[in-house]
Amino acid sequence: MQIEGSGALVAGGASGLGEATARALQAHGASVTIADLNEEKGSALAQELGAVFVRTDVTDESSVAAAVDATDNLRISVCCAGIGWAERVASKRGPAQLQPFETVIKVNLIGTFNVLRFAAAKMIQSEPTGAGERGVCVNTASIAAFDGQIGQISYSASKGGIVGMTLPAARDLAREGVRVCTIAPGTFDTPLLGGLSEEIREELGKAIPFPPRLGRPEEFAALALHIVENEMLNGEVIRLDGALRMPPK
C-alpha cells in the first residue's frame, strides 16, 4: 500500500508508539487522523503536524466510528491504544479484583477490535489499488502475550487476544483486499516507563540481548510503515524485542 496520499488513522496516537507512528506516516505523505482520549496532547500534536485530531474512547463504538468517519480515503489503520494493570491472580488477601481485569480487556482487546472492525468496514467501501488492495490494519500486542510476567495476568490476556485475532482477521478480510498484521514490541521507551528512574530504565535495557537498550518508538513506527508498504506481510505477528524473552519477574 502506498503511504503517500493515503488516509491513516492512528488510535492512541497522542503519545508513545502511536505518536511516533503518526509522525512517520505524516512525514511519508499520509493524511493522518490522531484518535486519542488525551485531548490536550492529541490536539497539540495534530496542530504541529497539520493532522486531524478526534477525541476517541476505543471502548465506545460511536467514538471509534466518528474517528473512522473523520479519516478521508482511509487506507491505513494503526492501533496503539492500551493500558496496563499489575496484580497477581490471588494472594493472601484473596482473589484478584475483577474490575481492573475487565477494564484492561475492554481497552486493549475490545478497543483494538473496535478500531479494526470499523476501519476495515470503511476500507472495504473504497476502490482497490491496481494490486487489488484496499487497506492495511496494524495492531499492537506485546511480548507479554508470550512471556507474561508475574502480575501481568490481565495485560498478557489482553495482548494474547490481539495475537489470536490476527490470522482469522486477515483471513476474514483477504477477499476484500485488506491486510492485517500485529506488532508485539518488547521493552520500549514510552510514557508507560516514564515514572521509572533513569537507573531502572538502564537496567531494563541491559536485559535485552541486542541492542542492550530500550526500544525507541521510532523503531516501532518504522516497522509499522514497512508492514503498510509490503504486500506480502499479512496475518503475521512480528516480535520487535531485540531477542528478549521475559523472565518470570
E strands, the chain, where?
7-11, 31-36, 52-55, 74-79, 90-91, 94-95, 135-140, 178-185, 237-240
Residue with the three cell numbers 536485559: 207
**Element holding 17 (H helix, E strand):** helix 16-27
Stretch 149-175: mean pLDDT:
97
Q: How far is CA 12 from CA 5, 28, 140, in A?
A: 22, 19, 10
- Predicted confidence at residue 199, as pLDDT, reads 83
- Which domains does the chain carry? 7-240 (3.40.50.720)
Residues 168-195 pLDDT 10s: 999 999 999 999 999 999 999 887 776 6
What residues are annotated to the active site?
155
| CB-based contact 140:80 (threshold 8 Å) | yes
User: Chain centroid to CA 57: how far?
Assistant: 14
pTM of the model: 0.96
- Predicted confidence at residue 197, as pLDDT, reads 78
Across all residues in the chain, what is the average pLDDT? 96
Stretch 134-158: mean pLDDT:
97
- For residue 137, the number of C-alpha atoms closer than 13 Å in the C-beta half-sphere is 33
Stretch 131-147: mean pLDDT:
97
- Predicted confidence at residue 190, as pLDDT, reads 85
Q: How far is CA 59 from CA 52, 92, 98, 137, 221, in A?
A: 20, 33, 18, 18, 24
Tell me the C-alpha distance between 44 and 195, whole Å.
22
For a pLDDT cut of 70, what percent of the chain falls above it? 99
